[in-house]
Structures are given as C-alpha cells and as structure tokens.
Amino acid sequence: MSPADQFFGKVSSAQPDGSSQDEINAVNQLKGSGRQPDVLDVGLAVALANTKLFAPYQVASFGDAHYAIAKSFSADRTRTSILLLNDEQRNEELAAMLDGVPVSDHSRRSAQEMIERARAFKLQARQEALPLLVNS
C-alpha cells in the first residue's frame, strides 16, 4: 500500500506505468467521468506545460497551529492582525477553504475528518520514527 493510499484511502492512478504524456491524456479523457486519476507521476517539463490541469495542493490540515491574518485600513495606517485559531475556528476556516462561504455542515464534517486523519498520520509517523530503547 502506498503512503498516499495509507493517508487518503484508495488512490486512483489511471496510467501507473504510462509515460508522462499518457498520464496527461488520461486526465483529459476521463475528466468528469468520476474515474479521473487522483495522482500523477509526470516529468517537470510535462507538468509545467499542463499547469492548468492541477488544483492547488493544500496541507492546512497538517499544521500544528492555524492562524487567521487580516488587514484593516484607516486614514493613513494599515494594521495587520494575527489570530491563533482554536479547534472550532480552525475547522471552520478549513471548511471554507474546501467549499467556500457560506460553510455547509458537509464541509465542516469533511474538514474535521481531514484534521483527524492528519493527526493520526502524524502520530503514526512519530511513533515509527522513535528509536527503540534497549535496556543493557
């Protein structure tokens, strides 16, 4: 099982043994079918030539802390405020990133699931990386 499968569940790759162009062709041919690939393995030149096909990759659910940053303007001053979000606020921000505003209950549940998966993944990674202690 690949690391992507471990974290995200079953990951679809339409052309796992194909060339970079085969992968791009699969994206275009399967678009909107529900069978389009979740991951691509393409060379840099092909990736750069097809950037319009790629969604921005977000890893907000993996952060140990989440901040909201806002600017306000008054007369001759610009103020920037930074707020450390609590768990509920973080979930709301992540849900808004997923689905826009107004935030739906479905996107809140999806955001919470992403945060929980990220926590479990990081915990497992930390546990596997710890050295084995042997009493001598």
Specify if 49 maps to a domain.
Answer: yes
CA 2 to CA 9: how far, in whole Å? 10
Q: Report pLDDT for 15.
A: 59
Domain boundary among 53, 68, 91: 53
In a domain, 134, yes or no: no
Q: Do residues 109 and 93 both lie within one domain?
A: yes
Does the pLDDT value for residue 128 go beyond 50? Answer: yes
Is pTM beyond 0.85? Reply is no
Residue 129 has pLDDT above 80, yes or no: no
pLDDT confidence of 132, banded at 50, 70, 90? very low
- Backbone torsion region of residue 97, taken as left when φ is above 0, otherwise alpha when ψ lies between -120 and 50, otherwise beta: alpha
Q: Please, are residues 12 and 38 in contact by the beta-carbon 8 Å criterion? A: yes
pLDDT tens track for 22-54? 888 887 887 777 777 767 777 888 888 887 776
Say whether pLDDT at 67 is over 80.
yes
pLDDT in the model for residue 42: 78
Are 83 and 46 members of one domain?
no
Query: What is the structure's pLDDT at 92?
Result: 92
Is the pLDDT at 126 greater than 60? The verdict is yes
